[in-house]
Structure 1
Amino acid sequence: MEGILYLLGLLKGMVTPFGITDLIDILIMAFVIYQVIKLIRRTNSGGVAKGILLFLIAMGAASIFKLNTVSFLLGKVVEWGVLALVILFQPEIRRLLEQIGRTNIGKVFTHEEERNELDSAITQTVEAYTSLSKTKTGALMVFERKNMLDDAIKTGTALDCTVNAELLKNIFWNKAPLHDGAVIVRAGRIVGAGCMLPMSGNVNLSRELGMRHRAGIGASEHTDAVVAIVSEETGSISVAVGGMLKRHLAPETLERLLRNELLPEQEDEDTAPKFKLSNLLRTGKGEKRDAKKTD
């Protein structure tokens, strides 16, 4: 009995009461970790983060197995590596600090306003694409999801405005200065226009597909973005997701597809049809059939 009481006394001494300072400490660390993860996603630095993690695991293994020479060399690399990372990510770190200064902490935990803007953006996009399709005006829009497209935005003109059908028709008018590039939408707002996208590396694409379609497919190959395209030759509407292209879409089909891809949690799983593009093209039949048609 005395041993149990002694053990309980030790445990009581080890456990400290949870106070308001502990809560503040946890919130600060959660916010810092959130911003770091957001920075990695924004700069597509996932590979660098994985490399650093593997490096730390190697250091731990060298210490456990007492590999003195390896531990010494890895320790020297860490000393210079921190400075190298600061130099390498200097623009991103500066942008992160600026963003922290502008951040409304309340928005970190709620996305309702963004969802409402995205819902409106889809409606306005469908309205604009319906008109652009009839006039055979080429258009290319990229809806950003988890993978940030800052590098593409830098190639065009940075904007910050709501998605509006009339604005889109003016941007893609064939005599407008920004009509050749892509419009990039982030969280329901236009953040860039006239942006250049990477071309698809798929050698099996139909030669009849134009540069606009190849750029749209390329963007969907490199990121998880949803890309909506209007053909300048035929006026047909297409959507690219995950490197797959679905063509000749009706406006109502375009709207359903965009909502299912960009706002999937709003759909009722029991009643809503499974209309995601990735599901439609999983068998590859749609892609093969559409690749034979002219752009």
Structure 2
Amino acid sequence: MDTIIKLFDDVKSMIWPIGVADVIDMLIMAFVIYKVILLIRRTSSGGVAKGILLLVAALWVSSFLRLYTVNFLLSKVVEWGVLALVILFQPEIRRFLEQVGRSSLGKVFAQREERNELDSAITQTVEAYTSLSRSKTGALMVFERKNMLDDAIKTGTALDCTVNAELLKNIFWNKAPLHDGAVIVRSGRIAGAGCMLPMSGNVNLSRDLGMRHRAGIGASEQTDAVVAIVSEETGSISVAVGGMLKRHLSPDTLERLLRNELLPEQEQEEEPKFKLSNLLRSRKGEKNDVEKDHRQ
């Protein structure tokens, strides 16, 4: 019992001196670490981060084992490496500082603005896809969520404009220079067009799926994005989420599905999110429709 009381007193003595300044200090460091992790996620810097951690670990091991020559060389590499990292990540650091400089109280309303932009983007997308489906014009749109798609945007043409039905129809017109790639939507705005997406590695996909569908499924497998596709051969509308493809959607179903996935707080109780059960239920409905058409 005395040991437990002594342990409790030791813990209390360590925690009690923490003041307001210490809490602020920890919050600042947590914010900086969060921003660094976010920076690594937004760019293809995962390999660089692993290399830095490996170098630091090697420096510590060489110091612990008293490998003086190795430790000296590694310490010099670290000294010059800081300068190299500043040069390497100069665009990202500049973008971060610009965002800090632009921060204001107006950001309190940023989430509501983004939701309004997404709502408008969904409406315009459904309008465009209805027209593209009728004319059998191929289309591929990726709605970014938590996983950033900066690498994909770099493969196309970077844009920053609102989602507009007429603009989408012009982009996907088969003689337009950007019609072969994907349009990427970030926070309700078009961030890139003509972008290349990774192909799906699923060998069990149906053979009648073209390159657009395979690219859309691939993007949904590797990220949490919502991908909307129009087939150039049949004009059918499809949506890929989490590596699953839901095909032959009507414009109304497309709109409901996009709203459920991109605006989940809205109609959350009325419409379940995109799941395998929904896919099976939809396939069953399509089968019933086909049987009904045959009977007629």
TM-score range, shorter chain: 0.7 to 0.9
Deviations 1:62-101, CA, capped at 9 Å, x for gaps: 69xx953589968964763543544543443333333333
Q: Which residue of 1 aligns with 2:3?
A: none
The answer (yes or no) to whether the contact 1:160–1:191 under 8 Å persists in 2 is: yes
Q: How far did residue 180 of structure 1 move?
A: 1.5
Unaligned 5+ runs, structure 2: 1-8, 288-296
Q: Which residue of 1 aligns with 2:36?
A: 36
The answer (yes or no) to whether the contact 1:115–1:188 under 8 Å persists in 2 is: yes
Q: How far did residue 45 of structure 1 move?
A: 4.1
Residue identity matched to 1:274: P
Change (3 A) 1:155 1:166: same
Change (3 A) 1:17 1:245: closer
Unaligned 5+ runs, structure 1: 1-6, 291-295
Deviations 1:8-47, CA, capped at 9 Å, x for gaps: xx97xx74763xx778756654553443233122115456
Residue identity matched to 2:210: G
In 2, Cα distance between the equivalents of 1:232 and 1:223? 24
Q: Which residue of 2 aligns with 1:135?
A: 135
* Secondary structure, counterpart of 1:192 in structure 2: strand
Q: Which residue of 2 aligns with 1:215?
A: 215
Deviations 1:114-160, CA, capped at 9 Å, x for gaps: 11111211111111111111111111100011111112112222111
Change (3 A) 1:223 1:17: closer
* Secondary structure, counterpart of 2:175 in structure 1: coil
Q: Which residue of 2 aligns with 1:3?
A: none
Q: How far did residue 249 of structure 1 move?
A: 0.9
Deviations 1:189-230, CA, capped at 9 Å, x for gaps: 011111122222223222322111122112122221111000
Q: How far did residue 235 of structure 1 move?
A: 0.5
Q: Which residue of 1 aligns with 2:271?
A: 273
**Match runs of 1:143-154 below 5 Å:** 143-154=143-154
Q: How far did residue 251 of structure 1 move?
A: 1.1
Report the aligned-residue RMSD.
3.9
In 2, Cα distance between the equivalents of 1:101 and 1:87? 21
In 1, Cα distance between the equivalents of 2:69 and 2:244? 48
Q: Which residue of 1 aligns with 2:291?
A: none
Q: Which residue of 2 aligns with 1:199?
A: 199
Residue identity matched to 1:155: T
* Secondary structure, counterpart of 1:111 in structure 2: helix
Change (3 A) 1:55 1:272: farther
In 2, Cα distance between the equivalents of 1:55 and 1:264? 43
Residue identity matched to 1:80: V
Q: Which residue of 2 aligns with 1:263?
A: 263
Residue identity matched to 2:40: I
In 1, Cα distance between the equivalents of 2:75 and 2:252? 55
In 1, Cα distance between the equivalents of 2:222 and 2:138? 22
Residue identity matched to 1:68: L
| Number of aligned residue pairs | 273
* Secondary structure, counterpart of 1:205 in structure 2: coil
Q: How far did residue 245 of structure 1 move?
A: 1.4
1:68 aligns to 2:68 (yes or no): no
In 1, Cα distance between the equivalents of 2:32 and 2:52? 18
Deviations 1:258-278, CA, capped at 9 Å, x for gaps: 11211223333xx32324145
Percent identical: 74
**Match runs of 1:1-295 below 5 Å:** 15=17, 18=20, 28-29=28-29, 31-45=31-45, 49=49, 67-69=64-66, 77=74, 80-81=77-78, 82-83=81-82, 85-104=85-104, 106-107=106-107, 110-268=110-268, 271-277=269-275, 280=278
Q: Which residue of 1 aligns with 2:4?
A: none
The answer (yes or no) to whether the contact 1:159–1:191 under 8 Å persists in 2 is: yes
TM-score normalised by length of structure 2: 0.74
Deviations 1:222-262, CA, capped at 9 Å, x for gaps: 22111100001100001112222111111111112111211
